[in-house]
Amino acid sequence: MDIIVIGAGEVGYHLAKELSSRDHNVVVVDISHERLERIGEQLDVTTLCGNGAHLDVLQRAEAETCDLLLAVSNKDNVNLVASRLAKGLGARRSVVRSTDVDAVVSRRGLYSSLFDVDLLLSTQLLTTSRIVQRVRRHHNQIIEEYLGGKVQIRRVSVTEGSRAAGRMVADLGLPAQTLVVALFRDDEVLVPWGDTVIEVGDQLLMAAASGRMPQVEKLFSQADEDLGTIIVAGGGRMAVAVCQALTNYTVRLKVIERDKSRCRELAKILPQAIVLLGQATETALLEEEHVEKASQFLAMTGDDETNVVASLLARDLGAEGIVTLVHRPDMLALCERMGLDGTVSPRLIAAERILEYIDSDFVSNIASVAGGRAQVFERVVCKDSPIAGCTLAELDLPPGALVVSVQRGDEIWVPHGNDTIEPGDLVVFFAASQVLEEAVAALQSTRPAASESR
């Protein structure tokens, strides 16, 4: 493929390195001569110095014939304008990285139409989801959150003693706005019916409004999930987002923040948490808060060095579950040398998500599940779509495919058989890989949405 990467930062570098190693033709565009010189020396790519939001620069990069534009600079306006201009010139697909979570969540439909974005990424949402997964690594796995976290897809395990074991799906007593999307049993991927019997050892793919998911999980495990005491170092946006996500579960949160005024703000934003004024690198403070007894220590300040030092100190004091937020590649390498294996890099997570999208042949713009055996993707329903005006019961989808959720304006719900699909709806679909092509064909006159990944 011919691929243009806008932005030669950490995300752009990682993508260019991976894609060029796969023998794609990659052009990297950036305003920094220094960054481009580094990439040009280390990678087999073409470099172009200029603003990716300028028409003449995109023309010099031959956007009119490119298969994919990856706009991943740290400037949202550059990324969005680059997408619109490149698509206007003839680029087949575009992926945009955004730092504005609110815009990704609330104005994604507008972005889709105005800027012609195929995949819209929020680094913060993606990273929040990854950290929560790490914290809950011994529990049920979050596959993806989408629509701004309002709907969640999760894989849950049916354990011995579960209330769901031996019962039919219709008899599970699921709360409103929840759906059993698929059942994984041995090597099979099944879309269950109401009379499908759940067995111990089954893996179920569930979709639900995020606030309903803890209720759903209680059906499948013997005990309520208690995440224990979690100490979070830092009170920035990313840390707050993680804390808010964790409050869906039984958890005791302690947040360490060095700024007094920010502590007052955090006390209002996170009423469930204990907010502590201090430095996460202070031995006395960590000892006083018994970091050695905490189930997790999350180093999430805005400074990589502080996060690494705090993590090392917490480990030396006896903490076991440690997550370290880092941004710079050199700090990632340092963490590896120091034995900190719980590192999380927002930019690398974004790059991984983009590569997953490419590997799914541009269909899985939400998630690939069960090792690629199934895909979750979304489409905007056009006026002439064969599914417009149909109820779910009337949809001509192949066995192994179904509708997971619908967004109409500001309203989002998990639909059932009598719900009608209307033009303009943003519809999320699930399809087993063996019927994916047939499912996509049944959705003619729909278009990919500007999916957001959290």
In DSSP notation, 227-265 reads EEEEEEE--SHHHHHHHHHHTTSEEEEEEEES-HHHHHH
Query: Looking at residue 296, what is its pLDDT?
Result: 94
Out of 3.40.50.300, 1.20.1260.10, 3.40.50.720, 3.40.720.10, select the CATH number for domain 226-350.
3.40.50.720
User: Does residue 77 contact residue 100 with C-beta atoms inside 8 Å?
Assistant: no
**Rounded distance between C-alpha atoms, residue 311 and residue 300, angstroms:** 10
Is the fold of 2-98 the same as that of 226-350? Answer: yes
* pLDDT value at 302 more than 90: yes
DSSP 146: E
pTM of the full predicted structure? Answer: 0.74
Burial-class residue 278 by CB neighbours within 10 Å (0-12, 13-18, 19+).
middle
Higher pLDDT, 396 or 322: 322
Question: For 216-239, what is each residue's pLDDT tens digit?
Answer: 777 776 555 678 999 999 999 999
Question: Per this entry, what is the length of the chain?
Answer: 454
Q: What percentage of residues in the chain have a pLDDT greater than 70? A: 89
**The pLDDT of residue 447:** 55
Query: Rounded CA gap, 115 and 106, in Å?
Result: 15
CA 338 to mean position of chain CA atoms:
28
Q: How confident is the model over 22-27, as a mean pLDDT?
A: 96
Which CATH number fits the domain 137-218, given the four candidates 1.10.1380.10, 3.30.1860.10, 3.30.70.1450, 3.40.50.300? 3.30.70.1450
Dihedral, 202, 432, 23, 74 alpha carbons, nearest 10 = -80
- The tens digit of pLDDT for each residue in 258-274 reads 999 999 999 999 999 99
Class for domain 2-98, per CATH?
A: alpha beta
Query: For residues 376 and 368, what is the distance between their CA atoms, to the nearest angstrom?
Result: 6
Per cent of the chain over pLDDT 90 is: 46
Q: Kindly list the distances between the CA atom of residue 139 and the CA atoms of 125, 204, 248, 409, in Å, as whole numbers in the listed order.
A: 20, 13, 14, 34
Residues 6 or more apart whose Cβ sits within 8 Å of residue 229: 251, 252, 253, 254, 293, 294, 295
Express each pLDDT in 201-221 by its tens digit: 888 888 887 677 777 777 776
pLDDT of 454 over the 50 cut: no
Q: Can you tell me which residue has the tokens 């023998």?
A: 23
Whether residue 436 is predicted with pLDDT greater than 60 in this model: the reply is yes
Residue of 57, 71, 69, 78 whose CA lies nearest to 2 = 69
User: C-alpha distances in angstroms, 420 versus 376, 392, 415?
Assistant: 20, 6, 9
CA angle (259, 260, 262) in 5-degree steps:
70
What's the mean per-residue pLDDT of the chain?
86
Q: What is the pLDDT of residue 453?
A: 45
pLDDT of residue 452: 46
Contact (CB, 8 A) for 297 and 319: yes
Residue of higher predicted confidence among 407 and 87: 87
Rounded Cα distance, 213 and 230, in Å: 21
Domain ranges of the chain: 2-98, 137-218, 226-350
The upper half-sphere exposure of residue 92, i.e. CA atoms within 13 Å in the direction of its Cβ, equals 10
